[in-house]
Homo-oligomer: A and B are copies of this chain.
Amino acid sequence: MEKSCISVFLLLVAVSYALAKDFTSKNDGKRDTKEVKETKPRLPQTLSRGWGDNLVWTQTYEEALFRAKNGNKPIMIIHHLEDCPHSQALKKVFAEHKEIQKMAEKFVLLNLVYETTDKNLSPDGQYVPRVLFIDPSLTVRADITGRYSNRLYAYEPSDISLLYSNMQKALKLLKTEL
């Protein structure tokens, strides 16, 4: 997990570089040649980015907040980077985990490679991968954490069961009957 300790600046540099190459490529860790042919057929840029192609993903944080409140569903936000091997590894197990994919339908889903300006989404820093839950009352569930004390919202692929149980926890809404 130490290697994923990237400063915001480095994050942005990395994203910038990754995106400059080819925004749409589903980079699985290995680099393509730098010369991206703009003429080659481009894969559609999907909102899922491989985190669950059969799930409904929101585009923006504003949209997610609106849908959470209106639909009384919790939000699950995954911050990640296409060029980060930790993000890619988590994405793989996340996308292949049938129960997680099923349970994810109960959430308003958002995956982001660019940080929002909302500081509540980085309670202990802007690292990736980072998974946060937000209650339909629009309260960030800072209490739902992974197992790393120095990056509370990070998950390794081996933590996928913990992530699953945290999703269950997030589905127990804070103010269901109020």
Contact = CB atoms under 8 A, between A and B. Distances in A.
B46 A44 contact: yes
Contact of A46 (B15, B46, B67): B46
Contacts of A44: 44, 46, 48, 53
A60 B23 contact: no
A59 B47 contact: yes
A148 interface: no
Contacts of A59: 47, 59-60, 112-114
Nearest to A45: B47
A164 interface: no
A16 interface: yes
Given A44-B53, A47-B45, A47-B47, A62 B116 contact: yes
Question: What's the interface size class on A, roughly?
Answer: 20 to 34
Copies of the protein in its oligomer: 2
A169 interface: no
A12 interface: yes
Nearest to A65: B114
Contacts of A67: 16, 19
B23 A114 contact: no
Given A16-B66, A46-B45, A48-B45, A60 B57 contact: no
A112 B19 CA distance: 20
25 contacts: A12-B66, A15-B66, A16-B66, A16-B70, A23-B56, A24-B56, A42-B56, A44-B44, A44-B46, A44-B53, A45-B47, A45-B48, A45-B56, A46-B46, A47-B59, A59-B59, A59-B113, A59-B114, A60-B112, A60-B114, A60-B116, A62-B114, A62-B116, A63-B113, A63-B114
